[in-house]
Structure 1
Amino acid sequence: MQKILIVKVSSLGDVVHTMPVIADIRRQYPTAQIDWLVEEGFADLVRLVAGVRCVIPFSLRRWRKRLCSPATWSEIRQLRQRLASEAYDQVIDCQGLIKTAWAAHWARATSARVSGLGNRTEGSSYEWPVRFFYDQRVAIEPHTHVLERSRQLVAAALGDSAGLSGEIDFGLDTQAAETALIETGFKLPSSYVVLVHATSRADKQWPQERWLELGQILLRAGISPVLPWGQATERAVSEKISGWLNARLTSVGRAGAAAYVPPALTLPAVTGLLLGAAATVGVDTGLVHIAAALKRPTIELYNFDTAWRTGGYWAPDIINLGGAQQPARLADVRRALVDFGVL
């Protein structure tokens, strides 16, 4: 029985795109024990993935803010001791950064084989000194989707590429996600579309006036826009959009439809929200990639020619719109919603 540690700590979208490697491993090694080292903020989401025995939180973001604290160094020592004590057979760093290679090396004390990326792929972060931490360096064709990059790396590390022939399966526990949403007490409208406007990069955003126009289209069709958020600034934008739309309900909305801003939601609860939506429309960001991972109707909006690298392609109801110098058009979004049967 193999004991395997997957190291992929961030960002949210990258964590989501790594999830299918768990199903790949289990297809070939059904009895394998698979653990995952991930940034603590994403740990609850990874706990939804079938086949992950143990999710090990990695708290680097928090540690960086309190480097002088004895409690921080105590936590770091505890993590190192835990990884060293697990006796992994394989440690696979799917990220290729010094911080993740270093963490993978902590598990090396058990004589585990450490595998990682041997080169940078287009558009992805990679720090070349990581190669000195690895026992096996796997070269990946530079023009490779981020999801396939992880799948190819794991297959090579385990010496078995047969797992790549199977279905892309993210393994998300939809029942647990639905339960997490119910526990929030947020009452869902009968028919809704999730609008994901927030992204960490301003150059990935879709113009706010397009969101307002799309919201009106949905309200006229009797469908409620739901605008989730993660930070205070994102909440302010969600409330601004919903407030503008709801102020005009008498002229644009059908009875029962309104714009909603949910309370702060955990990632499992957000997953439940996306699962129940008639569709999700959003920019290139983690929540949209979760919707695509659920294989629900998803429209991904791009301002760059990067859909080949991060866009969904594993289900017919995932549509990628826009590119460099040609942001996604509202007419194309509306047409996609018609094709989905939402409008």
Structure 2
Amino acid sequence: MVGKLMPKRVLLIRPSALGDVCRTVPVLTSLARAWPEATLGWVVQDGFEDAIRCHEDLDEVLTFPRKALAKWATRPQVLMRSLGWMRSLRKGRWDCVIDCQGLMRSALMTRATGAALRVGDRQAREGAWLAYNHRVDTTGAVHTVDRMLELLKPLQIDPVKDMQLKVPPEAKSSWSSRRSELGLNGSYFVLAATTRWPSKAWPADHWVEWARSVGGMTDGGLVLLGSPTERATVESLATRLTNEAGMTVHNLAGETSVGEMMAVIESARLTLANDTAALHMAVGLGGRCVGLFGPTDPDVVGPYGLRERVVHVSPPPGVNYRDARLGDRCMRMIPVEQVVECTRQVWDETQLDAVAQVNA
């Protein structure tokens, strides 16, 4: 324990990935409740700042230009820019820094701030723990969110498990205009059917079969999300959903900023996703979601506080989702019937919530 503190300036370091940025928000909220007078900052990868910049508890956003500094090891000019960016962190005069990433890069950022109090996970990888002067044992927690909240223990801060995200106003306006252009007037479901790792993706034929069963639950059809590199894959799925399931489909893969993606999810009747960023966004934007998990453990990385909204098939022992040889073998074992049932359950629950809000 470091005793009761009232630091004036506190910095969170969690640059990436996008889903991890979204589920780090409870750490920010906990700090704000404990130290309401403190200035709270966050180091986040450029392009991801929309996920957090409008949160009422956040005062400063420091964007990390990851792509611009990616080749620092082979290009002297990039190395010099990287060192310059690291040195700029010291100008913030941070009293306390909490590294929620726990990797070498985030640890270097932590050390570069010059903060007197540097907190991180004792088990942080890549030697990152060497940058901290307060190392926390987080092994008592299971879920990633709880492990990050454990970092607050030496600061004697009670955790506030609030996952709520704030959509940038201009993103809401942009989506409202785009929705009118698309003629999307009714309720719709969001599908985030692609992932960086193919082993975490539910097969396209399963999505088609699912759509045949739930199509009558939405009068606006489906909105498909994805990255620019996933555009062709998503377009192929969109074609099948239209031709084989008779669904109205809007493919927005590669067409939305992070803020616009949040706006699309916030307005959706329901979001269905593999283990990907869209799912963790949905948790913070109303919790109307269904998550599909195979080789990754939902008890560790699933939608926080919404374990009952997960359909999961346990993989064989020793399976690693990064193994390209795995393919979609695990995800293919998730029965369509279970996903349909979970979809109906969440739809019914949120329908009751919507009625209650109208009658309130």
Q: TM-score, normalised by structure 1?
A: 0.85
Shift of 1:65: 3.9
2:58 corresponding residue in structure 1:
52
What SS does the corresponding residue of 1:60 show, helix, strand or coil? coil
* Partner secondary structure for residue 68 of structure 2: helix
SS at match of 1:235: helix
Please say if 1:215 is aligned against 2:211.
yes
Tell me the CA shift for residue 12 of structure 1. 1.4
SS at match of 2:207: helix
Deviation, 1:281, is: 0.8
Amino acid across the alignment from 1:91: V
Q: Alpha-carbon deviation of 1:39?
A: 1.3
Question: Which residue number corresponds to residue 356 of structure 2?
Answer: none
Measure the CA separation in 2 of the matches of 1:93 and 1:23: 15
Matches within 5 A, 1:1-343: 2-65=8-71, 72-73=78-79, 75-108=81-114, 111-119=115-123, 126-127=125-126, 129-141=127-139, 144-153=142-151, 155-157=152-154, 159-162=155-158, 164=159, 166=160, 168-174=161-167, 176=169, 177-182=171-176, 184=178, 187=182, 188-223=184-219, 224-232=221-229, 234-248=230-244, 253=246, 258-262=248-252, 264-304=255-295, 306-314=297-305, 319-325=309-315, 327-341=333-347
Contact preservation (8 Å) 2:311, 2:334: yes
CA distance in structure 2 between the aligned counterparts of 1:139 and 1:61, rounded to whole angstroms: 32
1:222 and 1:42, CA in 2 relative to 1: closer, same or farther beyond 3 A? closer
Q: Which residue of 2 aligns with 1:123?
A: none
- Cα distance per residue 1:287-340 (max 9 Å; x no partner): 111111223311110113601001124258x60111224743211111122223
The alpha-carbon deviation at position 169 of structure 1 amounts to 1.6
**Distance in 2 (alpha carbons) for counterparts of 1:70 and 1:105:** 22
TM-score (norm 2): 0.81
Contact 2:283/2:289 (<8 A) preserved:
yes
Question: Quick one: distance in 2 between partners of 1:320 and 1:79?
Answer: 41
Q: Deviations over 1:38-89 (max 9, x none)?
A: 1112122221332111111112343224655566345424422321111111
**Residue 298 to residue 341, structure 1, CA distance change in 2 (3 Å):** closer
Query: How far has the Cα of 1:183 moved from its partner?
Result: 5.6
SS in 2 for 1:299: strand
Structure 1's 105 and 180: CA in aligned 2 closer, same or farther, altered over 3 A?
farther
Aligned-residue CA RMSD in angstroms?
Answer: 2.4
Gaps of 5+ in 2: 1-6, 316-329, 352-360
Cα separation, 1, equivalents of 2:73 and 2:132: 27
State the secondary structure of the residue aligned to 2:309. Answer: strand
CA contact (8 A) 1:195 1:228 kept: yes
Q: Which runs of 5+ in 1 are unaligned?
A: 121-125
> In 1, Cα distance between the equivalents of 2:59 and 2:212?
45
Identity %: 23
State whether residues 42 and 267 of structure 1, in contact with CA within 8 Å, keep that contact through their aligned partners in structure 2: yes
Which stretch shifts more, 55-64 or 168-177?
A: 168-177
For this pair of structures, how many residues does the alignment match? 322
Amino acid at match of 2:134: Q
User: CA contact under 8 A between 1:275 and 1:291: conserved in structure 2?
Assistant: yes
Give the letter for the 1:60 counterpart: R
Distance 1:296 1:134 in 2: 35
In 2, the alpha carbon distance for the partners of 1:184 and 1:33 equals: 36
In the alignment, the residues of structure 1 paired with residue 73 and residue 185 of structure 2 have an alpha-carbon distance, to the nearest angstrom, of 45
**SS at structure 2 position matched to 1:269:** helix
